[in-house]
Amino acid sequence: MASREHLSRYGRYAGGPDPLAPPVDLADALDAIAEDVMAGYSPRRALREYLRRGGARRPGLDELAGRIQERRQELLGRHRLDGTLEEVRKLLEQAVLNERKQLARDVAMDDTDRALREMQLENLPPSTAAAVNELASYDWQSIEAREAYERIKDLLGRELLDQRFAGMKQALEGATEEDREAVEAMLRDLNGLLDKHRRGEDTDGDFAEFMARHGGFFPENPQSVDELVDALAKRAAAAQRLMQSMSPEQREELMRLSAQAFGSPGLMSGLEALDANLQALRPGEDWSGSERFQGQEGLGLGDGTGVLQDLAELDALAEQLSQSYNGSTLDDLDLDALARQLGRDAAVSARTLAEIERAMHDGGYLRRGADGDLRLSPQAMRRLGKSLLRDTARQLSGRTGSRDTRAAGAAGEPSGSSRAWQFGDAEPWDVTRTITNAITRTAAGGGNPAAGLHLDVADIEVAETEARTRAAVVLLVDVSFSMAVQGRWVPMKRTALALHHLVSTRFRGDRLQLVSFGLRARSMDIGELTALPADREQGTNLHHGLLLAGRFFRQHRSLQPVLLVVTDGEPTAHLLADGEPWFSWPPDSETIGATVAELDRLGRAGTQVTFFRLGDDPGLERFVAAMARRIGGRVVAPDAGELGAAVVGEYLRSHFRGPGDDADWLG
């Protein structure tokens, strides 16, 4: 059996980011950011909003900032600052009580001397500091009383040093006179080094010599004078804020008591010189602030200074988490400080958010446009479109009487490419690619392909097919302000993204044009449509949209024209002869006539037309029903959440069914 000395011990990894942690999953972030972009946010703001609210299983900056404020309030609500004064008062009471007992027991003492001593003890000032100072020259008769009084001086010295040098109170407990002299020597040398540094006369050798002599006082192990000054200045500034957070009476008491620290006035003069040096070297520290403590747990000077440092650290973290200053990024976050204040899990969450921010920029999901602003990149669009199409396919497959969205077998012609088999695929296998994959996998695993092959699901590839009917598709989307007001803005954009991804990846022989229509109509790419803000613009110019659709169809005469119209209102605008839009509410006959005439032209050209009516406006319902009957088109009235499935389903129907076939493919 291995000896105990050779047994391994395992614990939580604490050397930085976990090397075994899974890579950051950007899918959740990208979906959330894109959703906000489609709602009208800029990509920059959408990224900021995501970082602020976090993901489904990850706290965001706002939650972390809230926990920072809770931690701050908890510190202020738990503590009070008179811990040292209270401890001194108790030691003084103990010393006086023991002295009185000794005077009562000492029968050999002269009565006059006893009376004078008792009178002095009886008439001590009510101020603790004044009483301690008055007893500085008292000749104690009780050994216990003298020890209690000496502990007051020792306590004050250790507390005053602990204010400037964290941990000194514990380190000097039970210190000898030699230890105290070493502290005073360190203070003299430190002030000498800082004086030279202020004048720019110090050298690396001066710092090295100082650390060689006094490095034991500095467990932080600073590597330069500046690192030493930074650490000391933060602590000294916190000590100043601590004193300013006390009541005037408490401050006065401590100032009067400080003369008794270690029984050495030289200690206070050394600390005062240190404070002056540090304040001159680091004037940017907060030397004048204060806090309001309201708790019941008394703090000594050293511990109180530590709490003031914690409060300053919490304030710095709150500013970093706010990300409200110019040039701010999550790389600014002090993760070590966050772990100290809120725990390791909070630091891991913040690091993950920083990695998401970095990956969105460096991973190609956001790119800077010609106007200098950030935009979703084509890579982000593809990834988002794939996700939306997957959701749409899931909705389609859940419909009664529906069929899968993939084209298979005789319904399509081979495109010459193949892809990995997915559950539900009905396309013919690409046998050559499938067998090649099996051979490669077997050989890579050390097996002998000549001895026989065993197919794995991962080996299977299917031949991609294209529908025999190639189409020129125009998706006309209403961008009037009512779409945004009624909560249809984002579903409309999600629909366009899903359809765009389907056409660009599975029906590459088709041509798709996206056209928005408000007061005017405009052809745009998917990136423009995704980022389109919801303007408060009146007008539903379907007439202009149909004109642009007709132009696109004429450019692709060899393809089957398919028109998909998404709208939530009757036409209220049309183009005049001079190209300017005319708006009228209620719709006038000229607008309706121009729209109907253009729709008739598309119908005569054999265009398959489907209207997607959103909402239950009676006027719109009558209009689209009449138009569909007029040109042999269809009307679908989906809920906003089902718009994507309805549009994609109709698009697929245009491939698998010819014009005039009234079979309800979607069930």
Domain boundary among 417, 442, 466: 466
299 within a domain of the structure (yes/no): no
306 belongs to a structural domain: no
- Whether residues 265 and 347 share a domain: the answer is no
The pLDDT of residue 243 is above 70: yes
Distances in whole angstroms, Cα of residue 91 to Cα of each of 88, 143, 149, 161, 265: 5, 14, 7, 20, 21
With respect to residue 422, please indicate whether it lies within any of the assigned structural domains.
yes
What is the domain range of residue 121? 82-292
Give the CATH number, domain containing residue 565: 3.40.50.410
Statement to judge: residues 108 and 74 lie in one domain: no
Residue 543 lies in a domain: yes
Q: Is 550 left (phi over 0), alpha (psi -120 to 50) or beta?
A: alpha
Statement to judge: residues 74 and 86 lie in one domain: no
Q: Is residue 664 part of a domain?
A: no
Residue bearing the bigger pLDDT, 462 or 3: 462
Q: Confidence band (pLDDT; 50, 70, 90) for 1?
A: very low
DSSP 326: T
Q: 206 or 404: whose pLDDT is higher?
A: 206
Q: Work out the percent of the chain whose per-residue pLDDT is above 90.
A: 39
State the pLDDT at residue 3.
42
For the ranges 252-266, 300-314, 628-642, the one whose mean pLDDT is highest? 300-314
What gap in Å lies between CA 318 and CA 325, rounded to an integer?
Answer: 12
Domain final position from 448, 466, 484:
466
Same domain, 427 and 444: yes
Average pLDDT of the segment spanning 538-553 = 93
Residue 244 in domain = yes
Query: What pLDDT was estimated at residue 53?
Result: 86
pLDDT band at residue 502, thresholds of 50, 70 and 90?
confident
3 occurs within a structural domain: no
How sure is the predictor about 648, in pLDDT bands with cuts at 50, 70 and 90? confident
Higher pLDDT, residue 341 or 269? 341
Q: 248 with 351, same domain?
A: no
Q: Taking the alpha carbons of 619, 621, 598, 572 in that order, is the dihedral positive or negative?
A: positive
pLDDT at site 471: 85
pLDDT digits (tens, 9 = 90+) for 18-44: 544 555 667 777 777 777 777 666 677
Identify whether residues 368 and 435 lie together within a single domain: no
Q: Which pLDDT score, from 0 to 100, does residue 39 have?
A: 67
Domain count, the chain: 4
Does 86 lie in the same domain as 59? no
- Assess whether pLDDT exceeds 90 at residue 362: no
| 559 and 449 in a common domain | no
The answer to whether residue 387 sits within a structural domain is no
**pLDDT-derived band of residue 501, with 50, 70 and 90 as boundaries?**
confident
Residue 162 pLDDT greater than 50, yes or no: yes
Report yes or no: 418 and 460 within 8 Å, Cβ to Cβ.
Answer: no
Q: Average pLDDT, stretch 293-321?
A: 93
User: Mean pLDDT for the chain?
Assistant: 83
Please tell me the predicted confidence (pLDDT) of residue 395.
66
Alpha-carbon Rg for the chain in angstroms: 40
Q: How confident is the model at residue 667 (pLDDT cuts 50, 70, 90)?
A: very low
Q: Which residue, 417, 447, 466, sits at the end of a domain?
A: 466
Residue range 316-329, pLDDT digits in tens: 999 999 988 887 88
568-627 pLDDT tens trace: 888 999 999 888 999 988 888 899 999 999 999 999 999 989 898 888 888 888 888 998
Identify whether residues 530 and 407 lie together within a single domain: no
Q: Do 129 and 209 belong together in one domain?
A: yes
Same domain, 326 and 249: no
The answer on 136 and 252 residing in a single domain is yes
| pLDDT(390) > 80 | no
Phi, psi dihedral angles at 634 (to 5 degrees): -125, 155
Is pLDDT above 70 for 424?
A: no
Yes or no: say if 644 and 491 are a contact pair by the CB < 8 Å rule: yes
The lowest-confidence range among 208-217, 527-536, 556-565, 602-611 is 527-536
Of the candidates 644, 642, 633, 637, the one whose C-alpha atom is nearest the C-alpha of residue 610 is 633
Res 407 pLDDT > 60: no
